[in-house]
Amino acid sequence: MAPSKRNMYRFPWSGNDNPIGWLEVTDRCNTYCRGCYRINGMQGHKSLEQIKEEINLLKTWRNCDNISIAGGEPLIHPDILDIVAYIRSQKMKPLILTNGIRLENNREFMVELKKAGAVGFTFHIDSEQHRPRWKGKTEHELFELRQHFADMAHSVGGLFVSFGMTVYPGNLDFVPDLVRWANQNIDRVHGLVLIGFRNAVMGGDFEYLVDGKPINMQTSYVADSDAESYLTSSDIYAKIQESFPHYETSAYMGGTQAHDKITWLVSAQLGTRTRMYGSVGPKVMELFQVIHHLQHGTYVIYSPSHRIPKIAFLLGLLDKGVRQATGEFFREVLRRPGELFRPLYVQSIGIIQGPDLLEDGRVDMCESCPDMTVWDGKLVHSCRMDEWRLYGSYVVAQRRAKEATNGQEVIAPDAIPVVGDAAPSSN
Ligand code: SF4
């Protein structure tokens, strides 16, 4: 069943007040992911000076709490430690979005990044990557690698750690196993990010235009068929719910066009290393955003600490989700009293559905897109930045003109008579 917007909190983020600033420090990458939106190596590493300017722009105009350092692969940028330190000096949280290749068996580098100010990592790992030493591995075989990074970050300590994957129809059934693994590692895995695969289908009913002229779109997300494009956030949510009654979402963002679209779905599950008890509801999500804004002047999405005191169960007084989790927890304590002394954690699951091309050619983006990035001194959606890099603007989709099918001739637009063309009146 699809989640209902009425039962969730709508994130209050906007273009001007958004917890996330998306920074791309390079477009080079040391692997290839099928779902990647970026053309590898078209422009190379940005200079430290340019990167600082972009950080300043994000801070000034977006009021960010964190800067997501992305790419390309950010850990191959030669100035990555200085970049992290600069973001920290600007009182924002540097979070590194990485494939982890440079961190494999390299704990010292992780320690250096933490010392420079990094608050954590989101590791993107899935079976559609051509990752050195792991090529051709199944999603299940990749658990060894996920565990390696989770254990390494746990041993360093004080880091936010989440794992991301692109979800295709082909690996949707694996998602519950990933959630199970994350739940079992709740003391070292703060969250999961699941991104529904999207591409733009060439040919078919649409043509693509820039400045009114047709183009042959060359971005990495063009495809011949839409067979894989229409996995929605609700599909991924339903897949998780099939296996985990404790899982429920509590916050969302909609789309910019269709009233029923859900682009971001966020949940916060509560549990210990042995059992999951439930998920917080919309009231706690709202409280978290409002209190952070009152205290720090920014909204929030990442917190390095995810261990919570049991007194947090008192939030059940105002939040139904926490109330249910509290009941489950104390019933379990009656069965196994040792559970009372186990640390309690919160673990997030973020589901993201990218842009959709609607029947009439409009593109439905994420409302208040948190992943706007800087291109040529302005903010653009990071998922569509290659349109700017290749064509200098967003590409417009337009339905191809249909030929008349009833044997009648189609009147060309400039041959349609208009009032001003009528013959002058004889009166
Ligand atoms: S619109 Fe923004 S948030 Fe949505 S997929 Fe694109 S970049 Fe990400």
- Whose C-alpha lies nearest to ligand 1, atom 5? 354
* CA distance readout (Å), 280 to 20, 176, 311, 345, 350: 22, 19, 14, 12, 14
- Whose C-alpha lies nearest to ligand 1, atom 2? 369
Q: Which of 375, 381, 386, 394 most suits a substitution to test ligand 1, by most atoms within 8 Å of the C-beta?
A: 381
CA distance 147 to 145: 5
- Residue 72: asked if its preceding bond is cis (omega within 30°), the reply is yes
What is the pLDDT, as a whole number, of residue 419? 56
Compute the Cα dihedral for 141, 147, 150, 156 and give only its sign.
negative
What is the pLDDT, as a whole number, of residue 409? 54
* Residue 382 alpha carbon to ligand 1 centre in Å: 6
What is the pLDDT, as a whole number, of residue 425? 42
Atom of ligand 1 nearest to the CA of 381: 7
- Architecture of the structural domain at 8-399: Alpha-Beta Barrel (3.20)
Q: What is the pLDDT of residues 276-305, one digit of tens each?
A: 999 999 999 999 999 999 999 999 998 878
CA distance 364 to 378: 21
Compute the Cα dihedral for 118, 380, 29, 141 and give only its sign.
positive
Return the bridge partners of 163, or none: 123, 192
Parts of the chain with a pLDDT under 50: 404, 422-427
What is the pLDDT, as a whole number, of residue 408? 55
- Whose C-alpha lies nearest to ligand 1, atom 3? 369
Tokens of 198: 């999207």
CA distance 13 to 282: 15
Q: What is the pLDDT of residues 308-365, one digit of tens each?
A: 999 999 999 999 999 999 999 999 999 999 999 999 999 999 999 989 888 888 999 9
Cβ proximity of 29 and 72 under 8 Å:
yes
Binding pocket residue ranges, ligand 1, CB within 6 Å: 263, 352, 354-355, 365-366, 369-371, 381-383
Contacts for 136 with CB less than 8 Å, ≥ 6 apart = none
Tell me the pTM.
0.91
* CA distance readout (Å), 422 to 25, 71, 85, 378, 426: 60, 59, 71, 47, 12
CA distance 401 to 404: 9
Torsion region of 159: left, alpha or beta (phi above 0 gives left; psi -120 to 50 gives alpha): beta
* Residue 22 alpha carbon to ligand 1 centre in Å: 10
CA distance 297 to 220: 38
